[in-house]
Structure 1
Amino acid sequence: MSISLLLEMAVSGDPERTAVVSDDMRLTTQELSDLADGGAGVIAGSGAEHVVYVGAGGALLPLLLFSSARAARAFTPINYRLSAEGIQALIERLPNPLVIVDPRYRDMVGDAGLAVLESAEFLAAARTAEPVAEFADPDDVGVVLFTSGTTSAPKAVELTHNNLTSYITGTVEYGAAEPGDAALICVPPYHIAGVSAALSNLYAGRKMVYLPNFDAERWVALVQQEAVTSATVVPTMLDRIVAVLEAGGDRLPSLKTLAYGGSKVGLPLVRRALSLLSHVGFVNAYGLTETSSTIAVLGPEDHRLAHGHDDKSLARRLGSVGRPVPGIEVQIRDEAGTVLGPGETGELFVRGEQVSGRYTGIGSVLDEQGWFPTRDIASLDEGGYLFISGRSDDTIIRGGENIAPAELEDVLIEHPDVHQVAVVGAEDAQWGQIIVAVVVPVAGIDPDPEELRNHVRKALRGSRTPDRVVFRDELPTNATGKVLRREIVAGLATD
């Protein structure tokens, strides 16, 4: 099934429904479909083999996604926050691409690609071009996304039409949205969450309201202005939104569902948000680029049950990513490949139609049974709830003992003086690595490092106590809220 069919289904369901709101632009499903046909004509006429977008998103993302699909070309949105050299290097890895670029990033692109069109030029051409509407083979690559490269060089993940549509049809009910339902989208276009948001909300029948450049006050205003009923945010966004709501007293009565993900969220922040917006259903979504987005969900009822529950095993689930979505199987394996039972920690493997596990120039990394190695350290509890402890690359090896940073972070974040924290390993001649806790204190607080070390020592055995505690005004993160541990470690070396 081609992703083009998702747009056709939306048009057949209600051609006059508002599909996209982005600044001053409003498109119905029919208008989006007509523009996509014209956009496909522009792409096909260019002779390009691939379509690249460098920009902040908004209406351009769903338009280019479906234009590319109807021209039977793969589509790649690229991180516009990279350097000019970084952007051009990624474009050069793609075959003869037509590059669409927002005006403010035009100089960053240079002459990379087969041809370059500014966004307004592409829109104008799409309105007058001869329409094209092909159906790509379901096994053809529909989207190529570059990984964030937080621990290594970016890899180009190939997602087929079948991967993407399997995720959508397996997790979203067609036309299930109520009339007037609206989704506020502020995740970046080059992230899998941006791609899946465009596909899933269109398929469900929600109006998509875009906020390309996140600002917490503007986000709150848009929720009120457009009567937004659902939204997805990353941890740094949630933190800022909660601060604005606490300061202003807003309670966002139209909001029904708020999903968060992209990286781990500290439980104190989750509890603050739950208490502040008690009428909202919170969703923690966990997924990877290679899995076409979400593979596990902690839903609203799970949040309500776990929040403040006296049963520790149930309360603990507030820190989980929930249970696998339909069509996804999970296994936890040890280093020898043995499948582990509940409560045992190892590497997470996943399997399902939405799982790609294929990279340009590398090929598939699925094993013979179709399992994908996520390189995330995880465990399952007796109820099948999945707990993510971090990346295998993040493991600290101190004196031959493997230490998961998340174990210490979960303890430190509960200290009242700690706003944010990341635990990393720093090179040491005696121990190989030492444990360093990098803490962003609560505003106006000057914590005692020894008190924080004792706080960890009381909860964990002595070998888990941080060797050093350092303080920072903020943690370096990417656009999806993932902490850039390499930058932290590099910064420690200059202290």
Structure 2
Amino acid sequence: MRPSLLADAASAAVRTVRSIGVLYRAGLVPVPRLDEGIRSLIATRRYGPLAGSLRIAARRAPHAAGLVDERGVMTFSQLDLRSNALARGWSQRGVRPGTTLAVLCRDHRGLVLTLLAAGKLGVPVLLLNTGFAKPQLTDVCVREKVGVLVHDEEFTDLLSDIPGDRYLAWADSDPGAVPSLDDVIAGSDDHPLPAPAKPGGFVLLTSGTTGTPKGAPRPKVSPLHSAEFLDRIPLRVGEATYFGAPLFHATGISQFMLSCALGCTVVLRRKFDPEETLRGIAEHRCTALVLVPTMLQRILDLGPDVLARYDTSSLRVIFVAGSALAPELGNRAREVFGDVVHNVYGSTEVAVATVATPRDWARAPGTVGRPPLGCRVALYDEQDRRIDRPYVTGRVFVGSGLAFTGYTDGRTKDAIDGLIATGDVGHFDADGLLFIDGRDDEMIVSGGENVYPVEVENVLVEHPDVREAAVIGVPDDEFGQRLKAFVVRRDGSTVDAEVLRDHVRHTLARFKVPRDVEFVDELPRNSTGKVLRGALK
């Protein structure tokens, strides 16, 4: 064997051993009952990470609460049996491997049962974004050749141009002629099904902010990939996780699958409500909370009186991902909840890239941390040369065991040295902590100087009268582009533009001071909290 191959094999063996160690600390290696561990590996390989994990949880703790939503509690056994019945019913109706099943649902039991049943049939699931407009939904479903569509009643009017069979997952009134999941389940046998030839997997969608959303398949099923999260996020077996982030997004579905693998109770609510989130954490003694940054801000903006009404001392992890976490917001969360905030950076294509632990954040607010076990992150300049010096901005490339292998339309992302481009630019500090400076296509060139909006935005939101801010480039006859800031004031504030320009001027270089400041009631955002800069322009 060549020396390079030998070194690669040795490195892979070391990673495997370390991964098993991480899983053991989380409680996923059932020593001394190694036979249970072998059953878990077999079930996951046969049914995929979600349906396989559910089968194991139903075996180990059938009467434990597996899911809580607005309709009550479902045990692991109930989830297993009802998803068996749904899978059998669909199989009798012609749903089988090769069928593309799409879901347009909020977070509730109907969505979960759909995911489980599809896993047991080996059918791929396309997770549709509930924030998409009708043309986007139609284009995606036609392109992906959707044969079965599961949706909530509230989205019915958006789906008139999409062919295929329909099933209602949640209805607040008489569903009419469209069969519901409950109808299929009630008429079917709930005995276990034979394992499919291979797991179906998921297709996640990009945000679609620059056009039709692209499909990114995620077929990986190895339990060792869980170590990529658990290496830096201390989730444990048998706890409870509250989901604010939607399950159709990479953040939500990845953490949902991990919670199932850990046998945790999953607490869901169809629409995010900040005070109901606190109530749910207190009632179910949740140890983890999964959010996007705008949700965290809405919780903190409830104020000290409301926050004090709910006992959230059970929280050990606040998992924040999906868009940039501003230093000011992360610091506020740390003051209220303690050292529990984990800032996670990744993308639909690469999955997790880095995690900033509470210790990392305390040392360097704003950082997205370091790569967990099994991940690699590197920076490259415009000539594709590796950047090894700290504080030098470059394009971010990531390698991960969970990374995708290309979009469903055959396209892929730029790659260098086996690493995939995230589309972001960033830098490392002297301690090796990563900071994201912005999107590579959002850079503003003003008077020959490069400016990334996130740096200016972070300074603006540090002002006590500013709740949110977004910065874009607008045409300028003299400088090519100039900076324009859109600012949401805090309630009762009358802060003016000149005060905010002075605030930025005292922190950043002169060319980074916005010449225009427009005050708005809110910023346009997508369902994961990313600012829709095109709408601002």
Structure-1-length-normalised TM-score: 0.89
Using the alignment, how far apart are the partners of 2:324 and 2:430 within structure 1? 22
Shift of 1:166: 5.2
Residue number among 435, 455, 458 corresponding to 2:506 in the alignment: 458
2:137 maps to 87
Task: Give the secondary-structure state (helix, strand or coil) at the position aligned to 1:247.
Answer: helix
Aligned to 1:365: 413
> Sequence identity of aligned pairs in percent?
29
Between the aligned partners of 2:312 and 2:416, the Cα distance in structure 1 is 49
CA contact (8 A) 2:397 2:416 kept: no
Contact kept in structure 2, 1:185 and 1:208, CA below 8 Å: yes
SS in structure 2 at match of 1:302: helix
SS at match of 2:387: coil
Listed as ranges, the matches of 1:24-423 within 5 Å are 24-48=71-95, 49-110=99-160, 112-119=162-169, 121-130=180-189, 132-135=193-196, 137=198, 142-162=201-221, 165=223, 167-172=225-230, 177=236, 179=238, 181-248=239-306, 249-250=308-309, 251-278=311-338, 281-292=340-351, 294-303=352-361, 306=362, 314=363, 317-341=364-388, 342-365=390-413, 367=415, 369-423=417-471
Deviation of 1:357 (Å): 4.5
CA distance in 1, matches of 2:387, 2:100: 42
CA–CA separation in structure 2 for the residues paired with 1:128 and 1:366: 49
Confirm or deny: 8 A CA contact 2:205 2:215 kept in the other structure: yes
Instruction: Give the TM-score of the pair, scaled to structure 2.
Output: 0.82
> Which residue type is aligned with residue 93 of structure 1?
R
**Deviations 1:355-401 (CA, angstroms, capped at 9, x unpaired):** 11510113443637421111111111232211111111111122333
Structure-2 separation of matches of 1:64 and 1:205: 19
Matches of 2:273 and 2:482, distance apart in 1: 37
Aligned residues: 472
Task: Pick the aligned partner of 1:6 from 23, 44, 53.
Answer: 53
- 2: distance between equivalents of 1:441 and 1:213? 25
Q: 1:81 to 1:101 in 2, by over 3 A?
A: same
Which secondary structure state, in structure 1, belongs to the residue aligned with residue 143 of structure 2?
Answer: coil
Q: Is the 8 A contact 2:330 2:366 kept in 1?
A: no
Instruction: Write the distance in 1 (CA, Å) between the matches of 2:343 and 2:85.
Output: 37
Match of 2:4 in 1: none
Partners of 2:481 and 2:211 in 1: how far apart?
20
- Structure 2 residue matching 1:193: 3-state secondary structure: helix
Q: What is the CA-CA distance between 1:277 and the residue it aligns to?
A: 2.0
- Structure 1 counterpart of 2:486: 438
Shift, 1:207, TM fit? 0.4
1:175 Cα shift?
12
Q: Determine the C-alpha separation between the residues in 2 that align with 1:362 and 1:10.
A: 37
CA contact (8 A) 1:418 1:442 kept: yes
Alignment CA distance shift 1:11-1:460 (3 Å): same
CA distance in 1, matches of 2:122, 2:270: 27
Letter of the 2:206 counterpart? T
1:239-287 alpha-carbon deviations (Å, 9 max, x no partner): 1211225132235233232222211122222222211223x52211112
Aligned-partner Cα distance in 1 for 2:413–2:312: 44
Structure 2: unaligned runs, 5 residues or longer: 1-44, 171-179
CA contact (8 A) 1:168 1:199 kept: no
Distance 1:448 1:170, change over 3 A: closer
Structure 1 distance, partners of 2:234, 2:295, is 28
